[in-house]
Copies of this chain bind each other. A is one copy, B any other.
């Protein structure tokens, strides 16, 4: 399987990512992608920016492990994960996961799986800066923990 992981400050192009996955093999029938972006309101608070911190030596290792698990579990031809770090504003892209397969169900499942595990396993942290000047580190959502637990339960 073709795989690429990037942790970067700059933005990404989804068209370039789709083309990259299609270049690898003409057997690709479908690519599912998820683009996560900064919302202007989170849990009722007006967000002015998000600061993304990560654990440099660890993050790519964790993401590679998630892609390995996805490759073993789904019928994948390729996958790309791009995650931005640093200061981001409402409307800006944070993360991209794209999964290519011969058939669509595997592409959807693998992309969703990688996003769900990224949320609970990849060493990124978000600090929210609000319009009122306040700052706070976000907490992991219970729904994110549940999503990973659901995949674990479905494993067999």
Residues of chain A at the chain B interface (Cβ within 8 Å): 13-15, 18, 22, 26-37, 39-41, 90-91, 102-105, 107-108, 111-112, 115, 143, 147
Contacts and interface: CB of A to CB of B under 8 A. Distances in A.
16 contacts: A15-B15, A22-B91, A26-B39, A27-B39, A27-B40, A30-B34, A30-B36, A30-B37, A33-B33, A34-B104, A34-B108, A39-B102, A103-B143, A105-B143, A108-B112, A108-B115
A103 B30 CA distance: 23
Given A105-B147, A108-B108, A22 B37 contact: yes
B40 A26 contact: yes
Nearest to A23: B91
B35 A31 contact: yes
A47 B147 CA distance: 39
Contact of A32 (B33, B40, B41): B33
A32 to B, nearest CB: 5
A26 B91 contact: yes
Contacts of A112: 104, 108
A91 B91 CA distance: 31
A90 B29 CA distance: 9
B40 A107 contact: no
Nearest to A90: B26
Contacts of A143: 103, 105
A39 B28 CA distance: 6
Contacts of A40: 26-27
